[in-house]
Amino acid sequence: MNAASFISPTTTISLDLKCFLKCMGVEFGMFDLGMLSSIATLRQIELVTMDDAVKMEQGFTAFDACSGKKFDDECVTAYETYKCGQEKAPDLVTKIVQRNFDNGSVYSPPSPCVPPRRTCWLTDSIPCILNQTTYNTLFVDPNPSGTGMAIFI
């Protein structure tokens, strides 16, 4: 994730690489519905800067500058947002990527077991693990008895 490669005006970035950035953003929970997810991104900024109020403020300023990017292609939107972040707050973007990279595939569970990693707690000690039995009950065969709708509370 070499920042200089992404922000250099002489570098041509392929659509595949732009889509890879989008996929990373989705995996980190920071890119959703074709744009930067405000709450998740602000939470990530807070998590990586919580010991330094000045860096946190710089992160929020970079978020304000970069979060409004919107293009016809989601991959281009993700790339331009990432590029803007690298230009405005490269250290912060690097820390967010390092914090989330290789966190294992965290799927959005159909029935939340615990919130996805790094979204509610300020600790990594409670990971989200998909409960396959619950998934099968809800989506594969949601009404195995045929007697009516199952209600889960």
Q: So what's the pLDDT on residue 108?
A: 47
Global pTM value: 0.61
CATH number at residue 92: 1.10.238.20
Residues 126 and 65 in one domain: no
Cα 9 from Cα 142, distance rounded (Å): 53
Tens digits of residue pLDDT in 7-59? 666 678 888 888 888 888 888 888 888 888 888 889 889 988 988 899 999 99
Cα 115 from Cα 118, distance rounded (Å): 8
- Tell me which amino acid residue 14 is: S
User: Domain range holding 121?
Assistant: 104-153
Cα 92 from Cα 125, distance rounded (Å): 23
Per the CB < 8 A criterion, the answer to whether 111 and 134 are in contact is yes
Q: 17-21, 62-66, 108-112: which has the minimum mean pLDDT?
A: 108-112
Domain count, the chain: 2
Residues 92 and 120 in one domain: no
